[in-house]
Amino acid sequence: MTYDDFRAGELQGWDARAEAYDTATARATAQAIPDLLAAVRLAPGMRVLDVCCGPGYAAGAAAALGAETRGIDFAPGMVRQARARFPGLAFDEGDAEHLAFQDASFDAVLCNFGLFHVTAPGRAMSEAFRVLRPGGRYAFSQWCTPEENPVHRLTLGIVRRVADMSIAPPAPDAFTLSDRDTAHGMMVKAGFADIALREVPILLRAPAEGFFDFMMRFGVRIPLILDRQTEMVRAAIHEALDHEAQAFRAGDEIRLPMPAFVVSGQKEGPLP
Ligand SMILES: C[S@@+](CC[C@H](N)C(=O)[O-])C[C@H]1O[C@@H](n2cnc3c(N)ncnc32)[C@H](O)[C@@H]1O
């Protein structure tokens, strides 16, 4: 099975969402950055690569703490946003599965909610391992499974109930890495040691009205599924999501826990 349509949809989808990223996705993803930086034991002067950087928040936070950073993302719109937001920091178009850097060129590699968007996450982990110097650390963040995660339980629950999933573009399972043992096993396979996992209790705060529209801006995978559905199915999902989100209303916001975790590991070996 090939995931070509999925990959093209991801690239186009994130590119189109780059300008509005702050108003939706970043409200949740930015909350994991302190844990990501702690997991790589960030210190001033470290050379840090932010993979799937989006508008560059993890690189920006690491640079603010004195790191020397680079960021890569395959969506040109994201790279433009990152450069505009953090002038003076280095951001380039690039593919997480084929990093355009020499072996052992970074002290730390970060990937904030990017790995499950990549077609071959194992390959992206191996690339992170390759570009790390011995003793360097890698950290990535990942959403918990829909069973543990009210945002995904609500949204995917409705989509899976109402949509015809047989016509959705084939896509790698977004929650493979949410299984903590699988994530650990993949890190070991990529070569990492001293693997650690820390839970990150994210809270999503969305506008109380228009939760469906918010979620369409928030991510790319559900819009890719809905693109292929009939108008009637899309309308039914729209109505159900706006309605069911009201159970989580607090004043003028929808507040939903969106738990995640950060996995990190070290490239062992003799220091250069
Ligand atoms: C959920 S966003 C995370 C952005 C950012 N790291 C943050 O902290 O919010 C996922 C990002 O991964 C990027 N992406 C997906 N697949 C990629 C790949 N194969 N190589 C590079 N970037 C990729 C997308 O363009 C998007 O910007």
pLDDT of residue 270: 63
Ligand 1 atom with the shortest distance to the CA of 219: 1
Beta bridge partners of 109: 49, 138
Place of tokens 């970043």: 26
Q: CB of 52 closer than 6 A to ligand 1?
A: yes
Q: CB of 183 closer than 6 A to ligand 1?
A: no
- Percentage of the chain modeled with pLDDT above 90: 94
Residue 115 in contact with residue 57, Cβ under 8 Å?
no
Ligand 1 atom with the shortest distance to the CA of 33: 8
Q: CB of 14 closer than 6 A to ligand 1?
A: yes
Tell me the CA–centroid distance for residue 258 and ligand 1, in Å: 18
Residue 82 zone, left/alpha/beta (φ > 0; ψ -120 to 50; rest): alpha
Mean pLDDT of the chain: 95
Beta bridge partners of 48: 69, 108
pLDDT tens-digit readout, 183-212 = 999 999 999 999 999 999 999 999 999 999
**Which CA distances in Å does 177 have to 48, 83, 142, 215, 255?**
23, 30, 7, 22, 25
- Whole-structure pTM value: 0.95
pLDDT tens-digit readout, 7-41 = 999 999 999 999 999 999 999 999 999 999 999 99
Question: Is 217 a residue whose pLDDT tops 90?
Answer: yes
Compute the distance between CA of residue 51 and CA of residue 70 in angstroms, rounded to an integer: 9
Beta bridge partners of 164: none
pLDDT tens-digit readout, 56-87 = 999 999 999 999 999 999 999 999 999 999 99
Ligand 1 atom with the shortest distance to the CA of 18: 27
Residue 176 in contact with residue 187, Cβ under 8 Å?
no
Place of tokens 């990937």: 111
End-to-end CA distance of the chain: 41
pLDDT tens-digit readout, 92-106 = 999 999 999 999 999
Angle CA(198)–CA(24)–CA(164) in degrees, nearest 5?
90
Domains of the chain and CATH, by start: 4-145+172-203+258-266 (3.40.50.150)
pLDDT of residue 20: 92
Rg (CA), the chain: 18
Tell me the CA–centroid distance for residue 172 and ligand 1, in Å: 15
Instruction: Name the H helices within 18-142.
Output: 26-29, 33-39, 57-64, 76-85, 121-131
Residue 243 in contact with residue 158, Cβ under 8 Å?
no
Q: Is 159 helix (H, G, I), strand (E, B) or coil?
A: helix
pLDDT tens-digit readout, 248-270 = 999 999 999 999 999 999 999 76
Question: Is 272 a residue whose pLDDT tops 60?
Answer: no
Tell me the CA–centroid distance for residue 124 and ligand 1, in Å: 12
